[in-house]
Amino acid sequence: MTPHLSTRRKFLRTGVLGAAATASVPAFLERTFAGMHNAAAASATQFATGKDSPIFVVVQLAGGNDGLNTIVPWGHDDYYTARKKIAIPQNEVTVIDDEIGFAPSIPFIREAYDNGEMTLVQGVGYPNPNRSHFRSTEIWEQATSSDRTARTGWLGRYFDNDCQGADPTVGIALANQQPDAFAAEEKQGISLSAPELYKWIDNDEEHESRNNVFEQLNEPSSDSMTESGASTGNMTAGTVKDTGLKSAADSLDFLEHTALDARVSSDTIGQLIKKSNSRTVYPNTPIGRNLQLISRMIEGGLSTRVYYASHGGFDTHTNQTGSHPIRLGQLDDSLRAFFKDIKAQGNFNRVVLMTFSEFGRRVNENASGGTDHGAAAPLFLLGGGIKPGVVGKHPSLTDLHQGDIKFNVDFRSVYASVLDNWLEGSSEAVLGGKFPKLDLFKKA
Partner 1 sequence: MLNRLPTSSWSQTTAAHLLNRAGFGGAPEHVAALHELGCEQAVNALLDGKLPFTSKQSAPIRPDWLDGEADPEEEEIKNKLQALRGKRPKANDPSGVKQAEERRKLQRMIRQIANRRSAELNKWWFETLCTTKHPLNEKVTLFWHGHFVSSLEKVRTPRLMFEQNELFRKMGMGDSRELTRRMARNPAMMIYLDLSNSRAEKPNENYARELLELFTLGEGHYTETDIKEAARAFTGMRLNRLTGEVNFSPRNHDNSSKTFLGKTGNLGADDIVEIIFSTDRASEFLSHKLLRYFVIDTPPDDLVNQLAAELRRNEFNIHKTLRALFLSAEFYARPFLRGRIKSPVEFLTQISQHLELDRIPDQLAVRAQRDLGQILFRPPNVAGWPGGKLWINTNTLLNRYNLAGVLSRGHDDPDYAMEVISLTGKGMGKGMSKNRNAKNSKVREAIAKRFPRPDFTTIAPDPLRSDPEKLIESLTFRFFQYPVRKDDHERFLSFARTKSESGKTIDDTELAELIHLMLSTPYYQLT
Site for partner 1 in 232-261 (CB under 8 A): 232-252, 254-256, 258-259, 261
Stretch that binds partner 1, among 73-81, 231-239, 285-293, 416-424 (CB under 8 A): 231-239
Q: Is 292 helix (H, G, I), strand (E, B) or coil?
A: helix
- Contact pick of 92, 146, 198, 364 for partner 1 (by CB under 8 A): 198
Query: Least distance from C-beta 213 to partner 1, angstroms?
Result: 5
- Contact pick of 230, 275, 284, 399 for partner 1 (by CB under 8 A): 230
Query: Least distance from C-beta 87 to partner 1, angstroms?
Result: 19
Q: Could you list the beta-strand ranges (E) of 255-312.
A: 306-311
Q: Is 55 helix (H, G, I), strand (E, B) or coil?
A: strand
List of residues 6+ apart from 334 with CB closer than 8 A? 282, 283, 285, 287, 288, 291, 311
Which 99-158 residues touch partner 1, going by CB under 8 A?
132, 134-135, 138, 149, 151
Query: Least distance from C-beta 151 to partner 1, angstroms?
Result: 8
Residue among 212 and 278 whose Cβ is closer to partner 1: 212
Residue among 161 and 265 whose Cβ is closer to partner 1: 265
User: Could you give the string, one character per residue 157-196, with x where binding to partner 1 holds by CB under 8 A and - elsewhere?
Assistant: -----------x-------xxx----x----x-xxxxx-x
Task: Please give the angle made by the CA atoms of 404, 408 and 414, to the nearest 5 degrees.
Answer: 120
Residue 208 in contact with partner 1, rule: CB under 8 A: no
Task: Please give the angle made by the CA atoms of 168, 307 and 252, to the nearest 5 degrees.
Answer: 25
Q: Is 37 helix (H, G, I), strand (E, B) or coil?
A: helix
Output the CA–CA distances (angstroms, integers) from residue 195 to 49, 171, 266, 365, in the order listed: 30, 15, 8, 40
Residue among 51 and 233 whose Cβ is closer to partner 1: 233
Q: In the chain, how long is the greatest CA-to-CA distance? A: 77
Which 257-296 residues touch partner 1, going by CB under 8 A?
258-259, 261-262, 265-266
Residue among 131 and 442 whose Cβ is closer to partner 1: 131
How far apart (Å, rounded) are the C-alpha atoms in residues 57 and 308?
6
Rg (CA), the chain: 24
Stretch that binds partner 1, among 22-30, 34-42, 210-218, 297-305 (CB under 8 A): 210-218
Query: Least distance from C-beta 207 to partner 1, angstroms?
Result: 9
Residue among 90 and 251 whose Cβ is closer to partner 1: 251
Q: Is 268 helix (H, G, I), strand (E, B) or coil?
A: helix
Q: What is the β-pairing status of strands 306-311 and 171-173? A: parallel
Query: Least distance from C-beta 193 to partner 1, angstroms?
Result: 7
Which region, left, alpha or beta, applies to residue 185 given φ > 0 means left and ψ of -120 to 50 means alpha?
Answer: alpha
Query: Least distance from C-beta 371 to partner 1, angstroms?
Result: 15
How far apart (Å, rounded) are the C-alpha atoms in residues 355 and 361?
16
How far apart (Å, rounded) are the C-alpha atoms in residues 86 and 143?
32
Residue among 129 and 378 whose Cβ is closer to partner 1: 129
Residue 95 in contact with partner 1, rule: CB under 8 A: no
Residue 210 in contact with partner 1, rule: CB under 8 A: yes
Contacts with partner 1: how many residues (CB under 8 A)? 74
